[in-house]
Amino acid sequence: MGVHTDITEQRLAEQGLRQANTRKDVFLATLSHELRNPLAPIRTSARFLESGKLGPQETARSHAIISRQVRHMASLLDDLLDVSRITRGVLVLKREPVFLLSVLEGAVEAARPSIDSKRHVLNLECPAESIEMDADPVRLTQVATNLLTNAAKYTDPEGTITFGARLEADALVIYVRDTGIGIAPDMVNRVFEMFTQVQAEAERSEGGLGIGLALVKGLVELHGGKVEVHSAGFERGCEFRVFLPRSIVRVLAREAQPVTPSNGAGLTRGHRVLIADDNRDGAESLGMLLELSGHEIVLAHTGPDAFKLCAEHRPRIGILDIGMPGMSGFEVAQRIRAAPWGAETVLIAVTGYGHDNDKAKAQAAGFNHHLTKPVDPGDLETLINAVPLLQ
């Protein structure tokens, strides 16, 4: 006598839980990394202010850095709370009549720093009609802004982003198309999931929690719409489309009103130090601090620029962030070590990831030291001061 029990559903459930736990762990590690990023320039600027050696210009600059980074941290926490509210079904839209043009303009204004910093070309395509919607203007602008900044993150410098809207028979479509790194076919259906990180693209982005697209999806669905993404594959760009139902749209004929696009257009007794970090505030505040100690500073904000400036200026010390766009800090370190002039360069990895395997990976790439953000400026200065001057 025998008994056979079908455990297929149980196994599938266990597999789903394992995958969810893996995504959760990746998300928590990313959250830790992203919160440490703004803490680094805040801590450095505070140390800078405590030094008592600042003039009015440097003082104002340090205050501005702290203010920007605090706003960035607040934005991260707001996104987390919004996703939580959507998941629990307690986020309520504040609907009112809002013009499409004002939503597009607000999104362009909010995303302008990200677009201009990488010299992207922004093409705007607006419908000829005056379109009014019954929607939450803050949340709808948040949706468009998230899609624009997402495109800017994953598009290499001087790439092209197209942002616009069009009326279709049963929907108003807001779209963002880019010439960026695209999405692999196996990830297209997963980019809107919580706790999902597209690992292949991570080293060429500018960070983030990975919840922005999940937030977009939730906010669009609260408006009765849907969001889709289309990509021909890795390195072939992508297009996000938001579909809002015609039932919330009112159309008035008028002449097209353009949205104005924004197209970016000798050593002391110290060392020459290259600081490479895509967080500009972090790089600049650290550079200001080291300049006070008599070091000459060279700044870079992308991986390719870091290697190029290193080849041109031959710094004694290179302080490299790992997650830079264009080329990771690991790859920059490997290229420096492979160059004839790179053997004597002291390389310090500064990153939000501090596990033992991260330190081992940094050592294998050629780094002399590995520091976890937020770095204590005193610890960094101790490392730098221990480096002998080359004759």
Give pLDDT, residue 196. Answer: 56
Q: Cis link prior to 374 (omega < 30° from 0)?
A: yes
Residue 229 has pLDDT above 60, yes or no: yes
Q: Which two tokens stand for residue 260?
A: 């104005």
pLDDT band at 167 (very low <50, low <70, confident <90, very high): very high
pLDDT over 70, % of the chain: 83
pLDDT band at 264 (very low <50, low <70, confident <90, very high): very low
Q: What angle do CA 52, 53, 54 make, to 5 degrees?
A: 100
Q: What angle do CA 267, 268, 270 make, to 5 degrees?
A: 100
Average pLDDT across the chain, whole number: 82
Closest CA relative to residue 157, chosen from 301, 298, 274, 260:
301
Looking at the DSSP bridge assignments, the partners of residue 317 are: 273, 346
pLDDT over 90, % of the chain: 34
pLDDT band at 32 (very low <50, low <70, confident <90, very high): low
Q: Which of 3-7, 70-74, 182-186 has the lowest mean pLDDT?
A: 3-7
Q: What angle do CA 307, 311, 312 make, to 5 degrees?
A: 120
Residue 262 has pLDDT above 60, yes or no: no
Give pLDDT, residue 24. Answer: 63
Fold of 272-385: Rossmann fold (3.40.50)
Give pLDDT, residue 324. Answer: 87
Q: Specify which of 113-117, 174-178, 379-383 reaches the highest per-range mean pLDDT.
A: 174-178
Give pLDDT, residue 177. Answer: 95
Give pLDDT, residue 259. Answer: 45
Q: d(Cα 130, Cα 172) in Å, to the nearest integer?
A: 12
Residues 44-97 have pLDDT tens digits of 888 878 887 778 888 888 888 888 777 767 766 777 777 777 777 888 888 999
Position 324, amino acid: M
Fold of 96-252: Heat Shock Protein 90 (3.30.565)
pLDDT band at 249 (very low <50, low <70, confident <90, very high): very high
Residue 343 has pLDDT above 50, yes or no: yes
Q: d(Cα 108, Cα 372) in Å, to the nearest integer?
A: 34
Contacts with 391 (C-beta within 8 Å, 6 or more apart), sequence order: none
Residue 263 has pLDDT above 50, yes or no: no
How many CB atoms lie under 10 A from the CB of residue 114? 20
Mean pLDDT of 306-335: 93
Q: Are strands 96-99 and 249-252 parallel, antiparallel or unpaired?
A: unpaired
Q: Which residue has the higher pLDDT, 31 or 283?
A: 283
For the chain, the domains span: 16-88, 96-252, 272-385
Q: Which of 87-91, 136-140, 193-197, 277-281 has the lowest mean pLDDT?
A: 193-197
Mean pLDDT of 285-306: 89
CATH class assigned to 16-88: mainly alpha
Residues 233-248 have pLDDT tens digits of 888 899 999 999 999 9
Q: Which two tokens stand for residue 361?
A: 């990976």
